[in-house]
Structure 1
């Protein structure tokens, strides 16, 4: 789930994201975000490049494999979200998404 969420964030970020932006976007603490990115780098889904504006930081970008995986799965996710919104009230769906996010964060 977190990998897909990171790929979705990167899909909307033209120039990649800093680790701080990833933490903010996913609601993760830095150690959890680093662990997630490290795993995704090992799986060739994302890669790091030096930040041209700050040599102390890196920029995270989606690799070709990661972009392909995101494209393959985003249709399935959209269909699932459509089904949820057909069967449940919007406030219930929002509560469920919030609870699942909290569960995932607690697990990290």
Structure 2
């Protein structure tokens, strides 16, 4: 169920967030860290994003924000806040699909 914009999450949802992570995502993350695959996947992702021009696109967005606000009037945190939604949305679907496939194959080869 999606969270509603108009109403806050239920108290039970807040309690669950404070517990030890038991979600599939947390388990997969733990397995990737334990098998040392997480760092390799991060490096591969960096390479793919450079190859497809995503990194250059994000650089130009940052430069435009800096020009618009004045280079001395912009902080790294402001840049990150400004480009994060655009950056996540602009990752090519082929890169997302490839990374998901790799994660699934790694998780499939290790026992959860």
Asked if these proteins are the same fold (TM beyond 0.5), I'd say: no
Query: Higher relative contact order by CA 8 Å / sep ≥ 6: 1 or 2?
Result: 2
Quickly name the TM-score band, shorter chain normalised: 0.3 to 0.5
Q: Larger % of strand: which?
A: 1
TM-score w.r.t. the length of structure 2 is: 0.31
TM-score w.r.t. the length of structure 1 is: 0.32
Whose radius of gyration is greater, 1 or 2?
Answer: 2
Q: Larger % of helix: which?
A: 2
